[in-house]
Amino acid sequence: MLLGPNGAGKTTTLRMVSGLLKPDAGSISIFGIDALADPVAAKQIVGWLSDEPMIYDKLTPIEYLEFVSGLWNVETHVAEHRARDLLRWLDLEKFVDDRCETFSRGMRQKVALAGALLHEPSLIILDEPLTGLDAGSARLVKSVLADRVSKGSTVIMTTHILEIAERMADRIGVISSGRLIAEGTLAELREGLGGGNTSLEDVFLAIVERDHSDA
């Protein structure tokens, strides 16, 4: 889980890893693949979901997923099976033949998530995936992500809802002014601040404040 104040560089970092931005310097390695030297191989194993769900208004969810399958070159019978499973899990089954233009933000977010998961990526990168989702949808998305993690995928996501980070994250990274200023499990982060049973919100604010005073 990647946390940080507004403008810290969380989205920029994730967009660089996804191949949407080129870094000025440094390297990006995804499961041993140099993402800058071989972006196509890296993209094959990455799934990206933006905080602003970008889908085609005039396509239906199934047509959208058909198109995504073409981009990732997923075989027809495999893609169809996965697409229908994902739409069922995300409670979109009865909207399969409706055009996305009439969907709410949460429904659009779920269609975009289905697109990001269709090729079963090893690394799933999600920028604020739960924004705009109702409680039921948020729970659905979390269960789908948990399922992917149990099957061996890695999920990196950003969120401003620290309760979610506290409950979901195995490891937490705190980013500020484009730098990773802390990283570890919640227990390790607490340890770094002198221990105690403080909430993630207190830990996060303390880390950011310490970084600001150091600067």
Partner 1 sequence: MSAPGSLSWFALHELRLVWRDALSMMTAGRRQRERLVAIFLISFAALMHVVAYTALEHVGKAGLHPDLPTLIAITAGLLLSGTAMLSQAMENVTRTFYTRSDLELILSSPAPAHRLFAVRIAAIGLSVSVMSLLFVGPFIDVLAWRNGPRWLAAYGVIVAVSLVATALAIVLTATLFQTIGPKRTRLVAQIFAAVIGGMFVIGLQLAAMFSTGTLSRLAFLRSDYVLTHSPPLGNAFWWPARASLGDEYAFGAVMIASLAVFLFVAGFYAPRFANYVVSAASVSRDRVRRRGSTRAFEVRPVAAALRRKELLLLARDPWLMSQSLMQLLYLLPPILLMWRSFTFGSNAASILVPVLIMAAGQLAGGLAWLTISGEDAPDLVLTAPVPRSRLLLAKIEAVIGCIAIVFAPFFLGLLIYAPALAMITAVGVEASAISACLIQLWFRAQAKRTQFRRRHTSSRIATFSEAFSSIMWAGTGAVAAAGSWLAAIVALLAIALVAGVRLLSPAQTT
Burial of 66 (0-12, 13-18, 19+ CB in 10 A): middle
Among residues 53 and 173, whose Cβ is nearest to partner 1? 53
Based on CB atoms, which residue is closest to partner 1, 148 or 190? 148
Shorter beta-carbon distance to partner 1: residue 101 or 188: 101
Residue 168 beta carbon to partner 1: minimum distance, rounded to whole angstroms: 23
User: What's the half-sphere exposure (Cβ side, CA atoms, 13 Å) at 214?
Assistant: 9
* DSSP 3-state of 175: strand
Min dist. Cβ of residue 166 to partner 1 (A): 28
Q: Determine the Cα–Cα distance for residues 141 and 70; give it in Å rounded to an integer.
A: 24
Q: How far is the CB of 55 from partner 1 (least distance, A)?
A: 6
CB nearer partner 1, residue 121 or residue 176: 121
What values do phi and psi take at 177, rounded to 5?
Answer: 50, 40
C-alpha distances in Å from residue 1, one per residue of 58, 94, 97, 154: 33, 32, 34, 11
Least separation in angstroms between CB 106 and partner 1: 15
Contact set with partner 1 (CB under 8 A): 18-22, 40-44, 46-48, 50, 54-60, 62-63, 66-76, 79-80, 83, 96-99, 101-102, 112, 115
Residue 211 Cβ, how far from partner 1 at the closest point, in Å?
30
